[in-house]
Amino acid sequence: MDTSHASVLWDAKSSAPFLAVPTKTDTKYSRGVLGVVTGSKLYPGAAVLNVEAAYRTGLGMVRFLGARRGGDLVLARRPETVCVPGRVQAWLVGSGMDAVTRSHTASVRLQAALQSGMPVVVDAGALDLARSSRGPVVITPHARELAMLIYSLKLAHVEAFADVDQLAASISQDPERWVEVAADEFNVTVLLKGHVTHVATPADDRGARFHARIQSPTTWLATAGTGDVLAGVLGALVATHAEQVLKDPEILGPLAATAAFLHGVAAGRAANGGPIVALDVAEALPTTIAATLVAIL
Ligand SMILES: NC(=O)C1=CN([C@@H]2O[C@H](COP(=O)(O)OP(=O)(O)OC[C@H]3O[C@@H](n4cnc5c(N)ncnc54)[C@H](O)[C@@H]3O)[C@@H](O)[C@H]2O)[C@@H](O)CC1
Ligand SMILES: Nc1ncnc2c1ncn2[C@@H]1O[C@H](COP(=O)(O)OP(=O)(O)O)[C@@H](O)[C@H]1O
């Protein structure tokens, strides 16, 4: 694991050890169950993208416990999904939600996940709640979402910026610095999305941390819903490594970097030089994972 402040370029060789290949004795429960609380009346489709991507990354089961409309759409696309509460090894929350218009019921469901003590992937409309988690957390903001988060908490670093847009511009220009600031301030692993995605964990007592960068192989990835696909990939990786994450939350760094790597390569394979939609990226994940595993054979 990298212990310097400079970021390392994350590739297939770095990613392969963080893929969980099922063994002969595995069951759907031992492989990892991901609880998903995402989607809303405004954005029900995000839940479908999350769940499709999680299954395509490989895990035992998805329990979808978000709003009804999202649940109906998820079941129409992935009937193997279970919509009954029960044991899960990790949570994915917040995609397709809006922190401002979030319903009371949605907030109660989010808090139940965050208070479970299990590892949680926190995306989009639940980012404001990330710090209240009892378990290890990885957040997945884009530049403006991170700016909103830093601004709303009135951290010391914001004094130099007139508004959120100025801060977002600074984050886009210098993601390497801001991803580390955010990891330290929020004490969570941060995956900062962009053409180049950065992942950082909080610095330890000696100032060492994990910091990786993932270069997207295609700009066609900049299209609606691909962030929801990324959140699903990461949810699956965290669910299949939940025991390790609880022992050592630092492993959220390499897991998040691996998610971003698989996501970018899947997009490149799906695009093949032309436009793609978010579900194309999810559908390209199985062959991307097979090719990534070959990197360490
Ligand atoms: N089919 C669906 O259900 C979809 C749901 N989505 C959900 O929609 C919600 C809102 O998403 P957005 O944050 O994109 O909100 P908006 O599209 O409302 O954008 C909000 C602001 O953020 C800026 N912004 C958006 N992406 C940025 C980036 N990469 N870097 C810098 N600034 C950026 C925009 O310019 C805008 O000013 C989220 O909950 C998300 O998960 C989206 O993922 C799109 C697809
Ligand atoms: N110019 C770009 N080139 C390559 N990838 C990009 C580019 N812009 C954004 N991305 C990637 O596309 C995804 C967009 O996610 P996000 O902003 O959350 O969109 P959405 O909310 O629509 O899902 C992220 O994985 C991000 O890294």
- Domain boundary assignment for the chain: 22-141+212-294
Nearest CA to ligand 2 atom 8: 222
Evaluate if residue 113 carries a pLDDT over 80: yes
pLDDT tens by residue, 129-187: 999 999 999 999 999 999 999 988 877 778 889 999 999 999 999 999 999 999 999 99
Q: Is 225 in the pocket of ligand 2 (CB under 6 A)?
A: yes
ipTM surpasses 0.90: yes
pLDDT at 3: 40
Nearest CA to ligand 1 atom 7: 96
Q: Cα angle at 247 between 109 and 140, to 5 degrees?
A: 50
Evaluate if residue 68 carries a pLDDT over 90: yes
What separation in Å is there between the alpha carbon of 241 and the centre of ligand 2? 25
Closest-CA residue to 214 (of 173, 261, 177): 261
What separation in Å is there between the alpha carbon of 26 and the centre of ligand 2? 34
Q: Find the mean pLDDT for residues 223-229.
A: 98
5 pLDDT band (50/70/90 cuts)? Answer: low
End-to-end CA distance of the chain: give it in Å, rounded: 20
The better pLDDT of the pair 191, 153 is held by 191
Instruction: Measure the CA–CA gap between 28 and 11, rounded to whole angstroms.
Output: 29
Looking at every residue in the chain, the average pLDDT score rounds to 95
Query: Binding site, residues?
Result: 46, 96, 142, 193-197, 227-228
Global pTM value: 0.97
pLDDT at 223: 98
Nearest CA to ligand 1 atom 23: 144
How many Cα atoms occupy the beta-carbon half-sphere of 139 within 13 Å? Answer: 31
pLDDT at 6: 86
User: Do residues 213 and 178 lie in contact, with contact meaning Cβ atoms separated by under 8 Å?
Assistant: no
What separation in Å is there between the alpha carbon of 228 and the centre of ligand 2? 9
Look-up of token digits 């994350």: 10
Nearest ligand to the CA of 45 is 1
Lowest-pLDDT choice from 110-114, 192-196, 217-221, 291-295: 291-295
Domain 22-141+212-294 -> CATH class: alpha beta
Q: What is the β-pairing status of strands 8-9 and 211-215?
A: parallel
Q: Is 221 in the pocket of ligand 2 (CB under 6 A)?
A: yes
User: Do residues 102 and 85 lie in contact, with contact meaning Cβ atoms separated by under 8 Å?
Assistant: no
Lowest-pLDDT choice from 7-11, 44-48, 148-152, 171-175: 148-152
Evaluate if residue 9 carries a pLDDT over 60: yes
Evaluate if residue 25 carries a pLDDT over 70: yes
Evaluate if residue 24 carries a pLDDT over 70: yes
pLDDT at 270: 98
Evaluate if residue 4 carries a pLDDT over 80: no
DSSP assignment of 90-118 equals EEEE-TT--TTT--HHHHHHHHHHHTS-S
pLDDT at 278: 98
Helices (H), the chain: 12-15, 28-31, 45-57, 68-77, 104-114, 143-152, 164-173, 175-186, 226-239, 242-247, 252-271, 278-283, 285-294
Nearest CA to ligand 1 atom 32: 144
